[in-house]
Amino acid sequence: MDAGAKRMAAIEKALAENTEITEQIRDFLAAFRGGFRVLGWLGSGAKWVGGLAGAAVAIYSAVYAITHNGNLPGK
């Protein structure tokens, strides 16, 4: 009976350690999930800013060409 109790105690100890490691991994992955969500928001904002910048450059080039006899900036 003593050997069975020691074996059970060892199994319970290993299970407790495994549970602790599993909780740490779960918390780590949850933090990554939150980080990727923030990066997604930043990516959406960057996409909008890029589109607005492209439109601004197009408008500037058109206005410059109209006011400089059809020549584009830098030519």
Coil, helix or strand for 68?
A: coil
Is pTM beyond 0.95 here? Answer: no
**Rounded Cα distance, 65 and 74, in Å:** 11
Where would I find the H helices in the chain? 2-67
Find the angle CA(68)-CA(73)-CA(75) to the nearest 5 degrees. Answer: 90
Query: Residue 2 has what pLDDT?
Result: 86
Has residue 55 got a pLDDT over 90?
A: yes
Average pLDDT over residues 49-64: 93
* Alpha-carbon dihedral sign for residues 37, 41, 42, 47: positive
- The answer to whether the CB of 49 falls within 8 A of the CB of 41 is no
